[in-house]
Amino acid sequence: MSFESISYSVSDRVATIMLNRPEALNAIDANMPSELAQAVEMANRDKSVHVIVLTGAGSSFCSGYDLKHYAQTPGANEGQQEMPWDPMVDFDLMYGNTEKFMSLWRSNKPTIAKVNGYAVAGGSDIALCCDLVIMTDEGKIGYPPARVWGIPTPAMWVYRLGAEKAKRMLFTGDLVDGQTAMDMGLVLDSVPFDQLDEVVDKLADRIKGVPRNQLMMSKLMINSAFDNMGLKTTQMFASLFDGVARHSPEGVWFKERAEEVGFKQAVKERDSGDPIAPGVSR
Which CATH number does the domain housing residue 250 bear?
3.90.226.10
Distance of CA 124 to the CA centre of its chain: 4
Assigned domain for 1 exists: no
Assigned domain for 11 exists: yes
Assigned domain for 149 exists: yes
237, pLDDT greater than 80? yes
**Closest Cα partner for 234 from 98, 97, 40, 87?**
98
Q: Per the structure, how many domains does the chain have?
A: 1
281 band by pLDDT with thresholds 50, 70 and 90: confident
Average pLDDT, the chain: 97
Average pLDDT over residues 224-228: 97
Range of 59's domain? 6-270
Cα distances (Å, whole numbers) of residue 148 to 8, 90, 270: 34, 17, 7
Assigned domain for 275 exists: no
1 band by pLDDT with thresholds 50, 70 and 90: confident
Assigned domain for 280 exists: no
CA distance 165 to 17: 30
pLDDT at position 233: 97
Assigned domain for 157 exists: yes
Assigned domain for 281 exists: no
Give the pLDDT confidence of 70-115 residue by residue, as tens digits.
Answer: 999 999 999 899 999 999 999 999 999 999 999 999 999 999 999 9
Average pLDDT over residues 119-131: 98
Assigned domain for 183 exists: yes
Q: Which residues of 136-167 are buried (b: 16+ CB within 10 A; e: fewer)?
A: bbebbbbbbbbbbbbbbbbbbbbbebeeeebe
pTM score = 0.96
Q: Is 212 helix (H, G, I), strand (E, B) or coil?
A: helix
DSSP letter assigned to residue 64: -
User: What phi, psi does 225 have (nearest 5°)?
Assistant: -65, -40
